[in-house]
Amino acid sequence: MSEKQGTRQSRIRNFSIIAHIDHGKSTLADRILEATQALTQREMKAQTLDAMDLERERGITIKLNAVELNYTAPDGETYIFHLIDTPGHVDFSYEVSRSLAACEGALLVVDAAQGVEAQTLANVYLALENNLEIIPVINKIDLPNADPDRVKQEIEDVIGLDASDAVLASAKTGIGTDEILAQIIEKIPAPAGDPDAPLQALIFDSLYDAYRGVVVYIRVVEGTVRVGDQIKMMANGKTFEVLEVGVSTPKIENREELSVGDVGFLTASIKSVHDTQVGDTVTHAEHPADKPLPGYRKMNPMVYCGLYPIDTARYEDLREALGRLELNDSALQYEPETSEALGFGFRCGFLGLLHMDIVQERLEREFNIDLIATAPSVIYNVKLTDGSSVRVGNPSEMPERKYIAEVEEPYVKATIMTPNDYVGAIMELCQRKRGEFQTMEYLDANRTNVIYDLPLSEIMYDFFDILKSSTKGYASLDYEMDGYRVSDLLKMDILLNGEKVDALSVVVHQEFAYDRGKAIVEKLKELIPRQQFEVPIQAAIGQKIISRSTIKALRKNVLAKCYGGDVSRKRKLLEKQKAGKKRMKAVGSVEVPQEAFMSVFRMSHDD
Amino acid sequence: MMINRQVRRGAYIHIPFCDHICYYCDFNKVFMKNQPVDDYLDALALEMRSYGADGLPETIYIGGGTPTALNEKQFERLFIDIKHYLMSPSIKEFTVEANPESLNEAKLEIMKRFGVTRLSVGVQTFDNHLLKKIGRAHEAKDAEDAIRLAQEHGFDNITLDLMFALPGQTETVLHESLERALSLGTPHISIYSLQLEPKTIFYNRMKSGSLKLPGEDIEADMYGQIILELEKHGLHHYEISNFAKPGYEGIHNSMYWHNEEYYGIGAGAHGYWKGVRYANAGPVKKYIEHVREQGNARVSEHEVTVTEKMEEEMFLGLRLMRGVSIEHFNEKFGRPIEQIYGKEIEQLKAQGLLHERDDRLALTQKGVFLGNNVFEAFLIS
């Protein structure tokens, strides 16, 4: 190692920010960018790291981002900071763990009023597993209901971190930013590693660029990667020639090489993000490392749903759009499927519900394709009476009951952190959702972790909404997959106007079938507008109708008023009505609005 | 026979002032108090002059707001200006909207003197309880008195405005209103179902959940009841919301439905002239400023495309029970209607919403109730 490289390496600090949604992660990132003058005020868009509109709207970060910042400390030394952003949702916890693995330290941002939340806790555990130095930051201390002393105590009691040096900050006003920067330099260790060792670079993100191919975001752990190097992806052995390496400041800056401790990108004419799996290790083709970095795991979709264009003529557009999204989203899977009710579409697999929502919204917004999404489903393992077994991700494909020996469904281990007052309400909720109580952990005088095993399908429904509403928003949820278990599950069909609509079929637990059938039928009655004829809605298990309701026929909709010659107003009303119909799908002779397909899922079993 | 090549046209004049704002009203209107009414009338005169120079209208319709809210001096001045700029000896119809509480002998006398041929009286309902509930300033008896007074002054061509599907209105209450309306012997009745429009008191009440309206089924039943009862008394149903004794159909409003052109004069008025649909500035002060500065108050103009014209021909024309003449359409647009709307017409016929009779396309009984399904189908884009 040259002396220069040694000095440079000793001044690198790699860190992430861990925070619950709304606790101020993006705002703090903005303050750090400002302090290091990475961007002029004019260039600053509020919350710079959240690039996609969708992320900005939802206040969450989906795609990871890393920036290199030069910070001149008050002592005159210049340090190289790499700030690595992490997604803030449980669907993406694996990605979070990989971006944390690219760091030596993390800022733990906790809201001074709200305190530690379950998801923060989960991410702190991920950080501790990766041996990160954690700097607690108590944010929003300027809020009237801020209680930093209580939150400090919480951090010590709940997480077990020493919070005596916790920074009291307001990312919004800039209070505490200098102290945070000082602690980053002082507490987070410089990266260890040998720039001359065989290359080991951790992939923590990648995205597809139409001109450059896949841009791979890496953290160099050992060795050095240079333009022109032949590199190898250790998971699949594919090799590529490096065309560019560089960093984002956040402007793109190309470099000659990236060495130990550097966080940046490389491009190598890679055609698909499927070759650059998050967590994989990049090494040299000719002098490969002995083994990959630990922790790589292939991500499998947990949730499936059917996506269909409302306008059947746009099937090919949808295929193309999915292909484009897939370039950038290695977790997205899709294959063609056909529905009697909806025609040609795709069965798509997602990491979780948020991932699913994001893909749908992007298809509608970026590609302008109006979609019908069927209710999401988990994958069931179905053992048949003939001894064979099938995996079913589409409820309408669930075999008839007489052929089924048993059905297994995926379970999760759910950790719900709650103020003590709501433990009863949460246990009641979990029981209703077929949960099995595991244990309770008393975190401090006020709070408890309630741990349940729950079917994943139940978490997918309105679990989180009910949890929030029955605990005044105080409880928070984290979960991890916990294998498959046998359950007494059945397929329920929905009939509109006497015809079975495959896209509305759901899998339900025997015990809840009647209530669920009734609720779905009522909900559909509410959502499907009156047609020119009466439309019966039925829920059936096998041949047996278990619930029924009727949408009355449309009687009158004629516009009465004259509007004093304002014809444009009449026209607008009619155009609006027509546009509304375009967003409906004709199922047989019944016009069904988009949201009805989702409603069988959105509604709870028991409301 | 002389061929009259002159374009048919009407003139709508808007008086946006009210002493009182009704809970359902979303027309362009303001409380009269402290408004620059005289300046407004000045501006109207300027606008009338500029349109009048383009040719005199066959019909004039003064609507509001509340035209009769003007005091007698202002009222007379309005008619002097109209006489000056818009009146022609061959005028076919001259309608003024009047509210029962502000119609008096002096105003009737003025209107008679200036050639008004038709009055449109805003009655809404003859149920005092309901009148109060919808924010009207008069009682049932005031309406009857006003109409009788007008009849005594020689106005026999009077139309009543009524409403149905009002909050708390039952079919019995509606029946009583229809009976009282009919007993006045007016040759024309317009009847509109309550429509909730944004920026009205009712709309806000609905949003807050404190407004209970009869449902769609009751509304449909009421509409059926209205058609039946009025037809029985010789008022034939000639347009979705309009009923008349033969020969008393509204000429001015029929022009809208025949997709003909009209001047729109006054704040927020809409006009259709030389192929352009336009809207005037709505706020009174803005309107006055615009007219002073540029001679008119148009704030939006849209040249109607051929496609739009065809669409309008259909969704306006089908409001009339006699419907749209196929021959007229083909001539007007130089293309057979089947070429443009063949598929839609077949579908609507199959759904029982439209029928073809004597070269005319018209709504069926079912189509009258579900008119929006029919109108919508004729939008091409």
Per-residue pLDDT at A54 exceeds 80 = no
In the prediction, which pLDDT does B143 show? 97
Q: Tell me whether residues B195 and A554 touch, CB distance under 8 A.
A: no
Q: What is the pLDDT of residue A85?
A: 80
* Residue A120 predicted with pLDDT over 90: no
Does A567 reach chain B within 8 Å, measured CB to CB? yes
Name residue B154's amino acid.
G
Close Cβ partners of B270 (under 8 Å, ≥ 6 residues apart): A563, A564, A565, A566, A567, A568, B12, B264, B277, B278, B279, B280
| Ordered DSSP codes for A66-121 | EEEEEEE-TTS-EEEEEEE----SGGGHHHHHHHHHT-SEEEEEEETTT---HHHH
Out of A268-277, B196-205, B249-258, give the one with best mean pLDDT.
Answer: B249-258
pLDDT of residue A36: 81
Query: Between β-strands A133-139 and A105-111, what pairing exists: parallel, antiparallel or unpaired?
Result: parallel
Q: Are B150 and B160 in contact (CB under 8 A)?
A: no
* pLDDT for residue B45 is more than 90: yes
Residue of B nearest to A563 (CA): B27
Query: Which chain B positions have a beta carbon within 8 Å of A566's beta carbon?
Result: 270, 279
- Taking alpha carbons only, the member of B193, B194, B184, B192 closest to residue B233 is B184
One-letter identity of residue A255? R
Residue pLDDT, tens place only, B112-127: 999 999 999 999 999 9
Decide: A492 and A426 in contact? Cβ < 8 Å. Answer: no
pLDDT at A20: 80
CA–CA dist A221, A223 (Å, integer): 7
Q: Mark yes or no for CB contact A568/B279 under 8 Å.
A: yes
Q: A445 in contact with B at a CB cutoff of 8 Å?
A: no
User: CB contact, 8 Å: A469 with chain B?
Assistant: no
SS3 category, B14: strand
Residue B5: pLDDT band (50, 70, 90) is: very low
Cα gap B128→B97, rounded to integer Å: 21
B142 touches A: beta carbon within 8 Å: no
**pLDDT value for B160:** 97
Q: Are A556 and B195 inside 8 Å of each other by CB?
A: no
CA dihedral A151, A157, A162, A165 (to 10 degrees): 20
One DSSP character per residue, A16-29 reads: EEEE-TTSSHHHHH
User: How far is the C-alpha of A329 from the C-alpha of A325, rounded, in Å?
Assistant: 6
Can you give the pLDDT at residue B133? Answer: 95
- Report chain B residues whose CB lies below 8 A from the CB of A558: 240, 368-372
pLDDT value, residue A53: 52
Mean pLDDT of B344-362: 96
Distance CA A278, CA A495 (A): 43
pLDDT tens digits for range A399-446? 988 899 999 999 999 999 888 889 999 999 999 999 999 999 987 777
Mean pLDDT is lowest, of A6-15, A124-133, A338-347, B151-160, for A124-133
Contact with chain A for residue B310, Cβ under 8 A: no
Taking only the tens place, the pLDDT of each residue in A377-407 is 999 999 999 999 999 999 999 998 889 999 9
Strands A105-111 and A78-84, by their bridges, are unpaired
Percent of chain A topping pLDDT 70: 93
Cα-trace Rg, chain B = 21
Does the reported pTM lie above 0.80? Answer: no
State the DSSP H helix or E strand holding residue A247, giving kind and residue range, or none if neither.
strand A244-248
Residue with tokens 């919301």: B241
- B12 in contact with A, Cβ within 8 Å: yes
Burial zone of B279 (CB within 10 Å; 0-12 exposed, 13-18 middle, 19+ buried): buried
Nearest to B270 among A557, A566, A577 (CB): A566
pLDDT value at residue A602: 65
B375 and A532 within 8 Å at the Cβ level: the answer is no
**Is residue A1 predicted with pLDDT exceeding 70?**
no
Tokens of A133: 């130095």
Closest CA of chain B from A549, distance in Å: 17
Decide: B321 and B239 in contact? Cβ < 8 Å. yes
In sequence order, what DSSP letters do the residues of B120-133 get, joined into one string? Answer: EEEEE-S-HHHHHH
**How many CB atoms sit inside 10 A of residue A4's CB?**
8
Distance CA(A535)–CA(A549), nearest Å, equals: 9
SS3 B302: strand
Nearest to residue A308, comparing CAs of A355, A340, A346? A346
* Cα dist from B25 to A215, B22, B199, B266, B270, whole Å: 59, 6, 9, 18, 17
A314, A225 contact by CB (below 8 A):
no
Q: Which two tokens stand for residue B106?
A: 């002096």
Interface contact B14-A574, CB threshold 8 A: no
All residues of chain A having their beta carbon less than 8 Å from the beta carbon of residue B223 are 556
DSSP symbols for A267-318: E-----GGGS-TT-EEEESSS--SSPPTT-------EEEEEEESSGGGHHHH
Residue B49: which residues within 8 A CB-CB, separation 6 or more?
B84, B85
Band of residue B1 on the pLDDT scale cut at 50, 70, 90: very low
3 state DSSP class of B197: coil
Q: Find, in chain B, the residue whose alpha carbon is nearest to that of A566.
A: B270
Q: Is A583 on the interface with B (CB under 8 A)?
A: no
Q: Which residue of B376, B379, B381 to mutate against A (max A Cβ within 10 Å)?
A: B376
Highest-scoring range by mean pLDDT, A444-458, A475-489, B334-348 = B334-348
SS3 content of chain B, % helix, strand, coil (to 5): 45, 20, 35
Query: Which residues of B are less than 8 Å from A582 in CB distance?
Result: none
Q: Which residue of B193, B217, B375 is the best one to mutate when testing the A interface, meaning the one whose CB has the most A CBs within 10 A?
A: B375
What was the pLDDT predicted at A62? Answer: 38
Question: What are A538-597's pLDDT values in tens digits?
Answer: 999 999 999 999 999 999 998 877 666 889 989 999 999 998 888 888 898 899 998 888
Q: Mapped to the 3 state alphabet, what secondary structure does B44-80 carry?
A: HHHHHHHHHCCCCCCEEEEEECCHHHCCHHHHHHHHH
* pLDDT at res. A88: 58
Q: Biggest alpha carbon distance in chain A?
A: 86
Q: Are B177 and B129 in contact (CB under 8 A)?
A: no
Nearest to A558 among B12, B371, B379 (CB): B371
According to the model, what pLDDT value does residue B167 have? 95
Judge: A530–B217 Cβ closer than 8 Å, yes or no. no
**Do B220 and A555 lie within an 8 Å CB cutoff?**
yes
Which residues of chain A lie closer than 8 angstroms to B277, CB-CB? 567-568
**Distance between CA A387 and CA A359 in Å, rounded?**
37
Tell me the C-alpha distance between B284 and B280, whole Å: 10
Is residue B210's pLDDT more than 80? yes
pLDDT tens for each residue of A200-259: 999 998 888 888 889 999 999 999 999 999 999 999 999 999 999 999 887 788 999 999
DSSP state of A398: P
Residues of A in contact with B373 (CB under 8 A): 532, 554, 557
Q: Is B51 on the interface with A (CB under 8 A)?
A: no
Arithmetic mean of pLDDT over chain A = 87
Q: How confident is the model at residue A24 (pLDDT cuts 50, 70, 90)?
A: confident
**Could you say which DSSP state residue A170 is in?**
B
Higher pLDDT, B297 or A115: B297
Across-strand partners of A220? A201
Higher-scoring residue by pLDDT: A66, A345: A345
Residue A38, pLDDT score: 62
- Check pLDDT > 70 for residue A49: no
Best CA proximity match to A443, nearest among A420, A467, A474, A464: A420
Is residue A106 within 8 Å of A132, Cβ to Cβ? yes
With an 8 Å Cβ cutoff, is A577 touching chain B? yes
Give me the residue from B195, B217, B375 closest to A555, CB to CB.
Answer: B217
CB of B262 within 8 Å of a chain A CB? The answer is: yes
> Is there a contact between B19 and B66 (Cβ–Cβ < 8 Å)?
yes
Least confident of A342-351, A468-477, B239-248: A468-477
Q: Which one of B219, B264, B315 has the shortest CB-CB distance to A574?
A: B315
B269 touches chain A (CB under 8 A): yes
The pLDDT, as a whole number, for residue A326 is: 84
**A525 backbone dihedrals φ, ψ, rounded to 5°:** -60, -35
Closest to A372 in 3D by CA, of A498, A527, A551, A489: A527
- Phi, then psi, of B357 in degrees rounded to 5: -150, 135
pLDDT confidence band for A464 (50 / 70 / 90): confident
Residue B4 has pLDDT above 50, yes or no: no
Confidence of residue B277 (pLDDT cuts 50, 70, 90): very high
Q: Are residues A558 and B240, on separate chains, in Cβ contact within 8 Å? A: yes
